[in-house]
Amino acid sequence: MSKIIVNKQDKKSTINKNIYGNFSEHLGRCIYNGIYVGEDSSIPNVNGMRTDVVEALRHIKLPVLRWPGGCFADEYHWKDGIGPKESRKRMVNTTWGGVVEDNSFGTHEFMEFCRQVGCEPYINGNVGSGTVQEMSEWVEYMTFDGESPMANLRRENGQDEPWKLKYICVGNESWGCGGNMRPEYYADLYRHYQTFLRNYGDNKLYKIAGGPSNDDYQWTDTLMKMAGKYMDALTLHYYTVPGNDWQHKGSATEFTQEDYYITLRKANFMDEIITKHAQIMDRYDPEHKVSLLVDEWGTWFDVEPGTNPGFLYQQNTMRDAMVAALSLNIFNRHSDRVAMANIAQLCNVLQAVVLTEGDKMVLTPTYHVFDLYKDHQDATLLGAFVEEGQAGEGENTIPMLSVSASEDKDGVVHVTAANLSATQSCPVELDLLGGQMGTVTGKILTGSMDAYNDFDTPNTVSIQPMEGITVENGQARFTLPACSVVEITLA
């Protein structure tokens, strides 16, 4: 019997709703086909945006969306994507598949998509092949209300009112595809660029510096030391890649039990790297003025056989759902420092929440985890103690349970738990300290580790009401089947 003890009096940080954010890039079929089909498409759309995708994202309360990349951000020139569509510049997307990018989805379209979904825009500016002037003018174009060359241009292009823009990042992966820079050089560039990102009227920017990859603690240290006082946040990118190298990442759907545990062990490494980056940040910023945004995370497997290798299209199984459940619990527990996370990516790329093919759309197991966890958005993290067994074998042994708990604004407690074992069910006793347990209900997502939803069978994996919860003497008891994710609500 495992134990979860939640303490309603042990109120910790607010779980920023932006931890449930997403990422969209001009990569493969993420934007074109995935989000945007154009107004003349026979696929139901509003102003070119797929209605099915918009509705699915509204349902999980997507709070924030990052765009236009990724590596693409550092070759994106925003002026190519405004004005009449027929005269927009056509370019080659050299990073992703060498396909023609016709720029029919640009700033206006991105803002329209965010409006329809009801999420906040997060813009990633171009440092790698852009200029200070270009990034500065983009902010002016989007947010200036008065008379100015860029604000006038925006009006000419049909948008009278400025948009609200908070989140802007200066470059992407500047240590890699964004320019192969050293941290000292990037820190200086960051200080320079951010100087010219202006707050117009009551629009207040939240300035984000491009942070480290994985466990590159040197990058974090240098950036905090040299530029910490000029930023609201820095980013962290960490992908879960089960294979030993980038040529052999492993199949998304055909894998062994050992591959499953390797994947979860690697996903669990997120906890260690956040802890260590946060310790470095604590040294320079004990008051927690600078947040950590994990603005790229998720599984990265070999592309689906027969698809363009540059498009990064992969299927999504219960294994992905377990990675999502584990990672989101980690972010919740680190919400004193982690203020945003953006899974990569929204649609048809890497660990997508939705997949599309023509007019069909599938909700992935990962989507359902975001659905199960959405009650944590802006809730208060509660202290939780877990007594559990282990899953996996040898060096791939991991804790069997992953848990986080929060209290929402109505005083309702939500506990999300994943049984990471691929084979063993887990009986659980749940205690609530400092409050009444009340009515206990649950929702569950479960299936074999390689179960997935496809266009012909879209509901193989879906959320179900949880049966068999008993409450006695103020304790709830239930069993988590192998490879399952649950949300337990104590109302």
Q: Which of residues 291-310 bind ligand AHR (CB under 6 A)?
A: 296
Residues 335, 27 contacting (CB under 8 angstroms): no
In the numeric block, the tokens 């062990």 are attached to: 265
Q: Which of residues 420-439 bind ligand AHR (CB under 6 A)?
A: none
Residues 6+ apart with CB under 8 A from 483: 318, 322, 419, 420, 421, 422, 446, 447, 448, 449
State the nearest-atom distance from the C-beta of 298 to ligand AHR, in Å: 8
25 is a contact residue toward ligand AHR (CB under 6 A): yes
State the nearest-atom distance from the C-beta of 68 to ligand AHR, in Å: 10
Select the span of 65-73, 147-155, 242-250, 368-376 touching ligand AHR (CB under 6 A): 65-73
Nearer to ligand AHR, 27 or 151 (CB): 27
State the nearest-atom distance from the C-beta of 126 to ligand AHR, in Å: 13
Residues 275, 332 contacting (CB under 8 angstroms): no
Q: Which of 75, 101, 173, 407 is catalytic?
A: 173
In the numeric block, the tokens 């997935």 are attached to: 452
Count the site residues for ligand AHR by CB under 6 A. 10
Q: Which of 75, 296, 388, 487 is catalytic?
A: 296
- Phi and psi at residue 253, to the nearest 5°: -120, -25
Residues 477, 429 contacting (CB under 8 angstroms): yes
Instruction: For residue 173, indicate whether it is catalytic.
Output: yes
CA angle 289, 63, 344 (to 5 degrees): 90
> Could you count the other beta carbons within 10 Å of the beta carbon of residue 465?
9
Select the span of 47-55, 69-77, 82-90, 417-425 touching ligand AHR (CB under 6 A): 69-77
* DSSP 8-state symbol, 248: B
Residues 6+ apart with CB under 8 A from 246: none
Please tell me whether residue 207 adopts helix, strand or coil conformation. Answer: strand
State the nearest-atom distance from the C-beta of 349 to ligand AHR, in Å: 7
State the nearest-atom distance from the C-beta of 152 to ligand AHR, in Å: 33
69 is a contact residue toward ligand AHR (CB under 6 A): yes
Tell me how far apart the alpha carbons of residues 335 and 337 are, in angstroms, rounded to a whole number: 5
In the numeric block, the tokens 């004005």 are attached to: 83
**Binding string, residues 339-378; x marks residues near ligand AHR by CB under 6 A:** -----xx----x----------------------------
In the numeric block, the tokens 């939803």 are attached to: 453
Tell me how far apart the alpha carbons of residues 252 and 29 are, in angstroms, rounded to a whole number: 18
- Phi and psi at residue 57, to the nearest 5°: -75, -35
Q: Which residue is nearest to ligand AHR (CB)?
A: 70
Instruction: For residue 407, indicate whether it is catalytic.
Output: no
**Binding string, residues 144-183; x marks residues near ligand AHR by CB under 6 A:** ----------------------------xx----------
Positions in the binding site for ligand AHR (CB under 6 A):
25, 69-71, 172-173, 296, 344-345, 350
Residues classed as catalytic: 173, 296
